[in-house]
């Protein structure tokens, strides 16, 4: 689990932890390269899922 998601624009530290926890919960080993558009979709999905769970 050495992978680190890049902090999203305007995200808080807590939000980042939730997103990382979601990655672990989904069993995803998420290796994100900020310039790869495919991984941005993964990050956006994770953010949406984390937000849904928190709300």
Q: Is 40 among the domain residues?
A: yes
In whole angstroms, give the CA distance from residue 55 to residue 40.
22
Q: Is 25 among the domain residues?
A: yes
Residue 22: its pLDDT value, please?
A: 72
Q: Which range of residues forms the domain containing residue 34?
A: 13-54
Stretches in the chain below the pLDDT threshold 50: 1, 33-34
Residue 44: its pLDDT value, please?
A: 76
Q: Is 31 among the domain residues?
A: yes
Q: Is 4 among the domain residues?
A: no
Query: Hey, CA dihedral for 38, 33, 25, 16, is it positive or negative?
Result: negative
Whole-model pTM over 0.95: no
In whole angstroms, give the CA distance from residue 16 to residue 41.
16
Q: Is 5 among the domain residues?
A: no
Q: Is 2 among the domain residues?
A: no
Residue 19: its pLDDT value, please?
A: 73
Count of residues in the chain: 55
Residue 45: its pLDDT value, please?
A: 77
| Residue 44: CA count within 13 A, CB half-sphere | 7
**Number of domains into which the chain is organized:** 1
Q: Is 28 among the domain residues?
A: yes
């Amino acid at each position: 689990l050495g992978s680190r998601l890049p902090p999203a624009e305007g995200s808080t530290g807590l939000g980042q932890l939730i997103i990382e926890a979601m990655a672990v919960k989904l069993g995803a080993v998420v290796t994100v390269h900020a310039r790869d558009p495919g991984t941005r979709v993964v990050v956006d999905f994770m953010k949406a899922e984390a937000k849904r769970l928190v709300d």
